[in-house]
Structure 1
């Protein structure tokens, strides 16, 4: 298990001064990136071997009110399974006393960046990591079927501000774009996000949305109806 110690920064806060959804997403990817760096299989290693990790899905449970600006937090991560080209990884975000704000499950795929195809994990990478048990609870990373009828909400164009080191739109931006489809004031208890196709510079992203009971489903597509991502918010009505 790897632990990243931090304090909630003002730049990571929402309008209420609490850790934002994008702040959560960034902490998850930052924590596993720092673990890889410390184990010697980080960005330089990946670049040297022309490979890269791509997350295919997240299931994120928001268990209580997020911490406020200035509060100390510990972000933890660990892989619980590797299989061929796939990696399964859990996360938590906790306070200093071990009370859990966030739990998350995720599925990653290792890609050959030259061939743009999946590749098995090198033995060197497998040897670098320690496997820990999967988080208990209900987890479902299987692909979701989109509702038959969805409403077009808004469009935007991918700019340089959206890009990460892979020259794709950063994972957190898909979720933030989807959150624009939520009615103001709705409280989220869970986020499921599934990445289908990477949005790149100048792509037009069209956001479709529908409310189904306690869930808001958002599809992010291009003009050819190719799906970039599906984001499913579970709403806490309590």
Structure 2
């Protein structure tokens, strides 16, 4: 069942071009799913009481355009299916006329907060939300880390970067990715597609590296990103496809 909420895009959620920032967009989508889960007794507080949490492992975004400051939009979300270990959730952003601006598919797991590991899906919980059991696993674009990256910058995970699962919140990764690209590029380009895969947690006090390689082959502008720990081990990989504004 699809859940919908209206929202007005605020100045604080936008960049200097008055486009919705990527971290703000992710936060809004997480907010609308949290509201749906809360109503069904499967929100953050409900799961924390069981020692569990929702953790995203992969996203795919298709972006027709990013909404602008003071634009009124509708945020949508729907649990689209599950299997033994994974849950799948779709998101969307629509304009006032019902045109889809952003479409997102995502893969999630239930996470044991004490043991720090995934646990099997809960069939009773899935029935509660009328989520279908899937015979086949949905496919996401395959992401692999680059052998080398052109730029690296070190960051520190602060207390305010954490979510209720006690690790780096997924929207904050985009702050580190975007920061690597620079103002001149960002003022003149708009993201079209995003693929991101979270392999390992990033926790408080760690000092990981944000890695970037930017390519422009046959007028296809793509930035390849990764988050690596101090030993060079990959924790997250991401691919952004851009177009000129």
**Structure 1-normalised TM-score?**
0.90
Matched, 1:228 2:227: no
Q: Comparing 101-110 with 204-213, which one deviates more in the overlay?
A: 204-213
Q: Measured at CA, do residues 153 and 114 of structure 1 come closer, stay the same or move farther in structure 2, by a change above 3 Å? A: closer
Quote the residue 1:12 is aligned against: 13
Task: For 2:106 and 2:79, locate their aligned partners in 1 and report how far apart those are by CA, in whole Å.
Answer: 9
Quote the residue 1:56 is aligned against: 57
Contact 2:141-2:195 at 8 Å conserved across structures: no
Q: Deviations over 1:145-191 (max 9, x none)?
A: 22222123311111112111112111111112111222522321111
Counterpart secondary structure, 1:45: helix
* Number of aligned residues: 232
**Structure 2-normalised TM-score?**
0.88
Quote the residue 2:190 is aligned against: 187
Contact 1:59-1:140 at 8 Å conserved across structures: no
Over aligned residue pairs, what C-alpha RMSD do you find?
Answer: 1.9
Q: Which runs of 5+ in 2 are unaligned?
A: none
Q: Shift of the alpha carbon at 1:226?
A: 2.0
Q: 5 Å matches for 1:68-217? A: 68-131=68-131, 141-183=140-182, 184=185, 185-212=188-215, 213=217, 214-217=221-224
Contact 1:87-1:109 at 8 Å conserved across structures: yes
Q: Shift of the alpha carbon at 1:35?
A: 0.9
Q: Shift of the alpha carbon at 1:110?
A: 1.0
Q: Which runs of 5+ in 1 are unaligned?
A: none
Task: For 2:77 and 2:170, locate their aligned partners in 1 and report how far apart those are by CA, in whole Å.
Answer: 17
